[in-house]
Amino acid sequence: MRIGFIGDIVGKPGRLMLKKHLKRLRQEHFLDFVIANYENASHGFGLTRKNADELLGYGIDVMTGGNHSFDKKEIVELFESHPLIRPMNYPEASPGKGIFQTTICGHEVAVLNLMGHYTMPMVDNPFTMITSVVASLKAQGIKHIIIDMHAEASSEKNVLLHMLHEDVSAIFGTHTHIGTDDLCISNGCAYVTDVGLTGCRDGVIGMDKAVPMRRFLTGLGGHHDIPDSCKAILQMIVFELDDNGRCIDAEKVKIYDEKPKIVTKAMI
């Protein structure tokens, strides 16, 4: 099976890039399934019903979240009606679930959403939780396991790889919005520290540069805005899993505005 994973979609510019390119990319890369992170999709903070329907209509099959999952209160109802998950290590009483299970090409597949500790909201220990969750899935005979690790610290993502590379199919980092150049396949597990945003590439992590610059110069914050027009980027990991849930091929796809795509193969 061939799957596409898109990191943080940031506002309207990110949604427009998917509108322009995703259906064609699904065909060109023979994708059976597409996963994307929604937590910044609605003007940079959370997800509305309108934008959820919009993104699913562009060819996304399931969406993962992060520390902004609950910024739009309507997300609570969307968890019941849409293929959306949030980090599983939010408190158990939180709305939504952290696992999405489906069948792709005749195989049971589990998509897991996890959030790190550093600079993040108070959540349960992601490392002890994920260990038991993965063990439970494997006991059920599920071999195709994909994790969105939403975390600020690269070390947390690296540790997760070393813990789980023999037990899961893929670990993809999200949250920092800055794509890293370390896509690899480790013992049959696809990994990248951060996929990088889909949205504006000429501001500060997808946002207009004015507020971040003022904050660093004066210590005063403000409301973050997303420009109406900007230079944009789409970033996606395309990976192939065999019948045993091991990754046998992976590549990074980048599109700058309307330019031809750039494809970079994973290290092995």
Would you tell me how many other CB atoms lie within 10 Å of the CB of residue 155? 12
Q: What pLDDT band is residue 228 in, cutting at 50, 70 and 90?
A: confident
* pLDDT at position 260: 96
Domains and CATH numbers, the chain: 2-265 (3.60.21.10)
Q: Which residues are catalytic?
A: 68
Average pLDDT estimate for 134-148: 98
Q: Model pTM? A: 0.96
Strands 170-174 and 189-192, by their bridges, are: parallel
Q: What pLDDT band is residue 223 in, cutting at 50, 70 and 90?
A: confident
Residue 130 has pLDDT above 90, yes or no: yes
* pLDDT at position 31: 98
Q: What pLDDT band is residue 116 in, cutting at 50, 70 and 90?
A: very high
* pLDDT at position 111: 98
